[in-house]
Amino acid sequence: MRRMVAEHRTHPADLILPAFVREGVDAPVPISSMPGVVQHSLDSLRAAAVEAVEAGVSGLMLFGVPEEEKKDAVGTPGTDPDGILQVALRAVRAEVGDALVLMADTCLDEVTDHGHCGVLDSEGRVDNDATLARYGEMAVVQAEAGARVLGPSGMMDGQVGAIRRALDAAGHQDVALLAYTAKYTSAFYGPFREAVNSSLRGDRATYQQDPPNAREALRELALDLAEGADMVMVKPGLPYLDVLRTIADRVSVPVAAYQISGEYAMVEVAAERGLLDRERAIDETLTAFKRAGADLVLTYWATEFARRSRERL
């Protein structure tokens, strides 16, 4: 009877798998801070995409990890048609076609040598408007490589509008934008730094949101919607369920939550130590996102959860 009257359920189609692909490796490289998650080779990424499709996951959000010596101050690998993210987009597209919604991270931190989400001015500060121009170029290259949805995650002011205009001008009106609307400066991104080999100097407090502020997210939301966001996201997930609820109550576009690297690591490491029941904990976190109003959840457990929920039917 509990099953019958459950108010919320997580369906495999609600899930998007974030995945890392590393240039120049023949085999997947384990990420020690995220037990069970790897930096994929092109081959292992293709296989993971097929597994995600078979499990019923609906989307794949790709992050590229270029060779260290290719990173520079402006993030050249991000706009190189042969950059690893673009190569990976084409490879996955060729493997699974439209069976997965292919998404790309439109941000500079994976491709810059300083690790910031934007380009820097002469004082070493992130230059908002110069960054928008780079995002526009990246977006077009990613769309041309086969991305159907772009995820601008750098929290620059005006990024959604700038990317929308660049895409439209290049004939990519049908590429959608999943805006990272409320992205907080968070300690929970810790393991992601290893996942993308980032060497961030300083922090992101000048462009990401400050954890004490909830109302500010509504201003970010209004701007993103006015600039053309097709879907909006709150990130991290569990520490910001209140923000997710507030946003979900106000919009008519799909709302996503990103269960990030540190949230993943917390459960995996505690489970490794026998401190909690791993599968129950995973299921409960996903239920929490649905209860707080998420339509979509980006989670590193997407394929595993989707498989498990199908086995239970």
Q: Which residues are at the interface with ligand PBG (CB under 6 A)?
A: 105, 107, 109, 117, 153, 189, 192, 204, 260-261
| 3-state SS class at 302 | helix
Q: Is 201 annotated as a binding residue?
A: no
Q: Is-contact 116 200, C-beta < 8 A?
A: yes
C-alpha span between 301 and 299 (Å, rounded): 5
Question: Between residues 181 and 261, which has the closer beta carbon with respect to ligand PBG?
Answer: 261
Cα–Cα distances (Å) from 223 to 44, 218, 273, in that order, read 38, 9, 44
C-alpha span between 288 and 120 (Å, rounded): 38
Question: Between residues 203 and 242, which has the closer beta carbon with respect to ligand PBG?
Answer: 203
Q: In this structure, which amino acid lies at residue 157?
A: D
Q: Is 54 annotated as a binding residue?
A: no
CB of 138 to ligand PBG, least distance (A): 11
Question: Between residues 192 and 301, which has the closer beta carbon with respect to ligand PBG?
Answer: 192
Q: Is-contact 295 251, C-beta < 8 A?
A: no
Question: Between residues 89 and 117, which has the closer beta carbon with respect to ligand PBG?
Answer: 117
CB of 280 to ligand PBG, least distance (A): 22
CB of 153 to ligand PBG, least distance (A): 4
Q: Is 291 annotated as a binding residue?
A: no
Residue 83 C-alpha from the chain's centroid: 18
What b/e string do you get for 265-282 counting C-beta neighbours within 10 Å, with b at 16 or more?
bbbbeebeeeeeeeeebb
CB of 159 to ligand PBG, least distance (A): 12
CB of 123 to ligand PBG, least distance (A): 21
Question: Between residues 22 and 204, which has the closer beta carbon with respect to ligand PBG?
Answer: 204
CB of 94 to ligand PBG, least distance (A): 25
Cα–Cα distances (Å) from 21 to 69, 145, 209, 308, in that order, read 16, 15, 28, 25
Q: Is 204 annotated as a binding residue?
A: yes
Question: Between residues 105 and 268, which has the closer beta carbon with respect to ligand PBG?
Answer: 105
Give the DSSP per-residue string, 56-84. Answer: T--EEEEEEE--GGG-BTT-GGGT-TTSH
Q: In this structure, which amino acid lies at residue 286?
A: L
Q: Radius of gyration over alpha carbons of the chain, in Å?
A: 18
- Residue 78, both tokens: 């991000």
Q: Is 220 annotated as a binding residue?
A: yes
Question: Which one from 70, 71, 235, 290 is the annotated catalytic residue?
Answer: 235
Q: Compute the 3-state secondary structure of the chain and give helix, strand, coil in percent, each to the nearest 5.
A: 45, 20, 35
183 is catalytic: yes
70 is catalytic: no
State the catalytic residues: 183, 235
- Give binding residues for 5-aminolevulinate as ranges: 193, 204, 261, 300
- Give binding residues for Mg(2+) as ranges: 220
